[in-house]
Chain A
């Protein structure tokens, strides 16, 4: 769970005063909280840890790291979890 996975912000909305987003990790989407990176915009790339965006990343770096994590078999484990699979549902 410790690895940060890069992804692309494809949707942003407000939920109880907190900016939330949908992030696409190479085909798998997750709800991601933007509380720690509130100025993220749609189309930007970020490194996400446990459902929180923590730093910006450029597109090329994000795609490279994502491909490598997929090759290493990390993505299934890091993105596991029956909750939060679809957007606009989490707290």
Chain B
């Protein structure tokens, strides 16, 4: 349990907590979509400070967690080839596939490189013309502009040895799937601030209207989160389904239009499997036909693979808000960040990793 005096501005935090508690006449169930927000909430004990007034369901906004198993297995197959240099963001290397992870491919001699930016992968391709260089293009709307630019850059440079293994996912269709599920308990959303820096807020208005649910665009600081919750509780109490932006210092309504143009050029919307959740229609991006020459899935013929998920891992229930991480029997025993059974235990954005880091010494009854 964190105490308010550990906050950077305990007076402001306290007044926000009190305002939320004063306005909540009943317990509300809300979802923070972004995994970074989940970590901030758990780390700062915001869920405990608001216990009884607000229950947080942790959303699927962790790209490492929801990248489908078959895509991990495709990455593993491609990365195992002798003629390939496989480049990835670092947090994908420990994600378990059906039988192994990218670290074990590297340990057996595979050329797997961690890069900071996909542009680094295009540089590796330019420097290694005798190798095929593949970048693992995962993530939400936040990483997509970077991956789109790597393709545009490769085309401009005339690179014929660079391709992207694309597994992009989109936030609004996931929110639609959550709201449409018969088991849905979410009464209001904290939308992920950084996704909106790219896409703006325009996609959320239709969700608010269709599902009669309030959505508040929120940042990552404890005070930002408390302010987002305060606005959301105010809307839920008033029975008003509205879209609000509680993170205006970083998010504009229109987002980054230059990035949006690149995304529209390079990618097209496609159906996408979400690990632990299943297929969500029109919930991802893949390369548009004019950039098909950069599609690693086509270039390496890894379309159909048989996959096998761990029987012990219950990440799917965690990602759908049906199970808290520390209620899973494997949590902290057979499943730890060093030996993860599922992707939610891997990433700094995964809910299981957040609970492992900050809550494993508490019993599940206290959480």
Residues of A near B35 (CB, < 8 A) are 2
Closest to B36 in A: A3
User: What does the 1/0 interface line of B237-269 toward A look like (CB < 8 Å)?
Assistant: 000000000000111100010110010000000
Number of B interface residues in the complex (CB < 8 A): 59
Starting from the known contacts A3-B194, A47-B194, A74-B39, 4 additional A-B residue pairs (CB-CB under 8 Å) come to A4-B142, A36-B149, A64-B221, A81-B114
In the complex, are the beta carbons of B43 and A49 less than 8 A apart? Answer: no
For the complex, what is the distance from the CA of A37 to the CA of B357, rounded to whole Å?
Answer: 35
The listed residue (B116, B140, B194) touching A51 by CB distance below 8 A is B116
Q: Is B83 an interface residue (CB 8 A)?
A: no
Chain B interface (Cβ < 8 Å from any Cβ of A): 8, 34-36, 39-40, 43, 61-64, 89-92, 113-124, 126, 138-140, 142-143, 145-147, 149, 153, 156-157, 194, 197-198, 219-222, 249-252, 256, 258-259, 262, 347-349, 357
Enumerate A36-63 residues with CB–CB distance to B below 8 Å.
36-38, 47, 49-52, 54-58, 61
Residues of B near A2 (CB, < 8 A) are 34-36, 61-63, 139-140, 142-143, 194, 349
Q: Is the interface of B mostly helix, strand, loop or mixed?
A: helix
What's the least CB distance linking B55 to chain A, in Å? 22
The listed residue (A30, A33, A37, A80) touching B114 by CB distance below 8 A is A80
In the complex, are the beta carbons of B126 and A36 less than 8 A apart? Answer: no
For the complex, what is the distance from the CA of A5 to the CA of B157, rounded to whole Å?
Answer: 28
What's the least CB distance linking A23 to chain B, in Å? 11
In the complex, are the beta carbons of B118 and A50 less than 8 A apart? Answer: yes
For the complex, what is the distance from the CA of A74 to the CA of B221, rounded to whole Å?
Answer: 13
Residues of A near B121 (CB, < 8 A) are 83
Enumerate A68-84 residues with CB–CB distance to B below 8 Å.
68-69, 71-74, 77-84
In the complex, are the beta carbons of B139 and A83 less than 8 A apart? Answer: no
Closest to B259 in A: A36
